[in-house]
A and B are shown apart, each in its own frame.
Chain A
Amino acid sequence: MMPDFDRIRILWIDDLPTVQTEDLGFLSEFFEIVAKEGKPCWLRSIDDYEEIRAEHENCNQHDSSPYLPVEIVSADYDLSKFSGNDSVGPRNFEGAEKPKRPPTKQKLSGKIVKEINPDDVNHEDFDGCLINLFYLSDFSNHPCGSVVTTYQDPNRQNRVAKKLETHMERIYGIAPLYPSQKNWDIILSTGTVALRKRIKRLYEDSKIVLSVSDLIAMADGVNASVLTLKSEFTTRKLPVRGLFIDCKDNEEMASTISEWASMLLQLKVSREHYRFAKEVAEKIWNTYNDDELLSSYQEFSSLHTSLYGVNGQEIHVDEQLELKYDRYAKYFGLRETKRIGKEKVYECTSEKCLDINSISLPVSKKSQKESNTIVRWAIIFLILKLMKRALICKAKLEKQLEEVISQQNSQKIRDIEKLLSPFLDVDDIYLLLFPVPKSPFPSPWHIANPSVRARRKETWQKTLGRKGINLKDFLNGNALTHGERCLIQGILINDDEFIELGDNEESRLDIWRSWMISSQFVFGC
């Protein structure tokens, strides 16, 4: 049975595997060495890397490359000169010829031979490091932990490899780690620590997207088996147990996982705020979807305009209409709050009336910043829900049209697809955020005079403006920060509602790109 995760890939740079490294053993459940035809291939030279890199470039964008990018680079710096004309993998251990090592007395960790001249740059101990650097220059925005499997040489401060490492750290912020022994258990334990550090760094900079639902499950310690990760190159579902292979026992692993995931979530938005915002959005969304409540309010508001006009002056008296109006007034708890000149100002006091302005937030009224954050995220969630609905309509209609006009030429189909763009504007968002508003009453939608209608909507606009929210900017894709968009993509990547529309995480996210408004909102372009 195939595992429901992608095993963590290792790029293995070594001239010749030793007994300790020729087999992953039990680790192969979560890790795999980049391989051809099921057999591991290890890179013996820069030429080997170039060969793999070229194959990656030739891969179709939609096919996943069999090699790159990887999550761990295990690099032996000291590569002996291989004299052969074979190409990269598959390589059998049995057939591997022992390379002729240069006359040196270097040995593995700890046993450093003092005779090495630290300034002898001609001694090429940096080929592996160079491959690592080449890899990083190609895939620095995909998380990768670098592990050095050569000896640790305290005298190497002046040597080329050390310079390259400093360069790597300066440019890409990656400091390779040195495992204490050269066997996969230790190498991968060290590698996953480096990988987690890199994931944190890239997530902090919003260079990668992590599935929010996976992170929450990890933080809560609930059955978290995978962490879905999307970089600019690919989408991977990493095994959580593999990612924390360095933990000694299950208890330590659970606490480390929870701690790490909570820390990552905190980088974007506080978990409490996230939860509160979801609750608020859910309440308003339910009200927005309550057909009966909305149509009652709609009738009530339009009846008010019909009977009393915008300003409350009586225009027409009709007993039956008034009776109906009174029933609604009682139902929605309508009351006059004040008078501005001749104009009466009304408010609905019933608890059934709900909007983003009047909803009670689970934070202290004094903490303005907190409540603003909650309202902001609640609005984001609500807009996403509405866009999702529009996208589902779009996908369905497209599918239907494709079936019906499949014999038309492709240009016509493309024409239609261009035209199938749902229309969503600020008014739709206002109705979404203020489905059954307490004030102003009557609702702006029932006022025919455009300037009076605009004034009514302006009260909502000002309320949101005080919280730093401009709906037009939201829809134009100008209001969200890079970090917020990263979190939004993380929310959408595992969206179950799009399962029937997209086969995998990437295609589900691509649906959001298919419509200009949603693309601007989610991706900013």
Chain B
Amino acid sequence: MLDFCALILGFLILSKMSENIERFDIPPEVLELIERRAYAFKSKNRYFFRDVDIQDLVQSGVIACLKAMERFDPSRGKIQTFLMQHINRAIQQEAWRAVVGDGNAPYAASVSKSKQDLEEAGDSDPDFPNIERISEKSKVSQIRVKQILAAMDFKRSSVVLQDDKDSIDRYSSLIGVNEDFIEQESKTEKFKKNNTSKYFEGEKDETRVCGEDYILVFPNLLFLLKKKNSEYKIVISTQKYNFLSKLSESDFPYSKRSALRKLSSTKTGELLALPESLLESPESDTLVYKNRKNWKKCEGSL
């Protein structure tokens, strides 16, 4: 720890003294520390922040480190605490930005933490969050909380199922390893396993509209699904999970294109049609809808 402080102080003095130097490289040890923080952060939430580029996190950490050093006042405390606060915050914000967008990024961590705390205290259900309580606790407006939770939910839901579970763990131990290192084999095997029957039998996608079609186009409906006590709940979590595996396919843009085409050409009265089998499935224990006849217009499965 003392080494770290000495290193940072040395770096600080150098950077203050070297105003005439145009380019100044961060010492590799500091860079490594930032990289470790970035990998640790991503690894901790590997599915949630899977689309976040690790280099973006490192870069934001480096920028935060440089900015923080300019503002550091030795009389106010230890440099290590000061810098790590800034680096952690920058990495966190950069990661959240990819999940909830620029505007909501500064509030996302607070909302997420409040949600977690309330769940632990039993004040909020993980699947049906209490928006009012979260808003109150995080001091973020209810609209923003809704937006953030919807974005988080969508991101968490569209997990890439084919990803190697160990890959990100491996990164955290091998700083600087190129992401191209990911093995392809397991993915292609899984792909083949899932798709071979399609190739041999030459099956084409059904042209009927079903639930996943409109959730592909309106992903925010996923948030709507979580309203436990409202009467317009659409799909229960088991069906949602099946839909999410569809979302994670690499052909997602193709699926969405097809869904858009189908929805736009379907008659209005048939849009909300969901598979009849869904109503009878033993898994679908909580499917509630006010006007059930609307669900019975389409066959197939999610």
B-binding residues in A (CB < 8 A): 288-289, 291, 294-295, 298-299, 302-303, 305-306, 309-310, 315-316, 320-321, 324, 386, 389-390, 392-394, 396-397, 399-401, 404-405, 408, 412, 416, 419-423, 427-428, 430-432, 445-452
Give chain B interface residues in 214-258, CB to chain A under 8 Å: 214, 216-221, 223-224, 230-232, 250-254, 256-258
The CA-CA distance from A392 to B180 in the complex, in Å, is: 41
**A324 pairs with B199, CB closer than 8 A:** yes
Q: Given that A404-B290, A448-B184 are known contacts, is A294 also in contact with B191, CB under 8 Å in the complex?
A: no
For B188, give its contact among A315, A386, A394 (CB under 8 Å).
Answer: A315
Instruction: Tell whether A446 pairs with B251 under 8 Å between CB atoms, given A295-B205, A422-B218.
Output: yes
- Given contacts A324-B199, A408-B232, A448-B162, A419 and B223 within 8 Å (CB-CB): yes
Partner of B204, one of A295, A309, A397, A401: A295
- Shortest CB–CB separation between residue B155 and chain A, in angstroms? 12
Q: Chain B interface secondary structure, helix, strand, loop or mixed?
A: helix
Assuming the contacts A302-B250, A396-B263, A449-B182, asked whether A419 and B199 have C-beta atoms less than 8 A apart, the reply is no
Q: Which residue of the partner chain, among A299, A315, A390, contacts B260 with CB atoms under 8 Å? A: A390
CB neighbours (8 Å) of B166 from chain A are none
How far apart are the CA atoms of A324 and B256 in the complex, in Å? Answer: 26
12 A-B pairs with CB atoms under 8 Å apart are A320-B200, A389-B260, A393-B214, A393-B217, A400-B271, A408-B232, A423-B217, A423-B218, A428-B253, A445-B251, A445-B254, A448-B250
A302 to B256, CA, bound (A): 17
Closest to A301 in B: B251
Q: Are A400 and B252 neighbours in the complex by a CB distance under 8 Å?
A: no
Chain A interface, DSSP helix/strand/loop, else mixed: helix
Is B291 part of the binding interface, using a Cβ–Cβ cutoff of 8 Å? yes
Question: In the complex, are the beta carbons of A400 and B269 less than 8 A apart?
Answer: yes
A305-B188, A389-B264 known, 12 other contacts, Cβ within 8 Å = A306-B188, A306-B191, A310-B184, A320-B199, A393-B263, A404-B291, A405-B232, A408-B231, A445-B253, A447-B250, A448-B250, A451-B53
Given known A-B contacts A393-B217, A405-B232, A428 and B256 have beta carbons under 8 A apart:
yes
| A-B interface contact total, Cβ < 8 Å | 141
A422-B217 in contact given A449-B179, A449-B184, A451-B179 (Cβ < 8 Å): yes
Q: Which residues of A contact B163 (CB under 8 A)?
A: 448
A295 CB contacts on chain B under 8 angstroms: 204-205, 254
Partner of B261, one of A289, A298, A404, A427: A289
Known contacts: A392-B264, A408-B232. The answer to whether A423 contacts B187 by CB under 8 A is no
Chain A residues near B204: list those with CB within 8 A: 295
Size bracket of the B interface: 35 or more
Query: Chain A nearest CB: distance from B250 CB in Å?
Result: 5
Which residues from chain A contact B200 at a C-beta distance below 8 Å?
A: 320
The chain B residue sitting closest to A392, CB to CB, is B264
Cβ contacts under 8 Å, A386 to chain B: 260
B127: CB under 8 A from chain A? no
| Contact (A446, B179) CB under 8 Å given A392-B264, A421-B220 | no
Whether B264 contacts A393 by the Cβ 8 Å rule is yes
Contact (Cβ within 8 A) A302 B268: no
Q: Flag B145-160 by CB within 8 Å of A: 1 or 0 each.
A: 0000010000000001
CB neighbours (8 Å) of B199 from chain A are 299, 303, 320-321, 324
Is A450 a contact of B218 with CB atoms below 8 Å? no
Shortest CB–CB separation between residue A72 and chain B, in angstroms? 43
Bound-state CA distance A399–B232 (Å) is: 15
Q: Does B51 contact A (CB under 8 A)?
A: yes
Residue of B nearest to A500 (CB): B268
A420 touches B220 (CB 8 A): yes
Check if B22 is an interface residue, CB within 8 A of chain A.
no
Kindly state whether residue B272 has any CB partner on chain A within 8 Å.
Answer: yes
Question: In the complex, which residue of chain B has the Cβ closest to the Cβ of A388?
Answer: B264
* Contact code string B269-296 (vs A, CB < 8 Å = 1, else 0): 1011000000000000000001100100
Closest to B268 in A: A396
- Is B184 within 8 A of A298, CB to CB? no
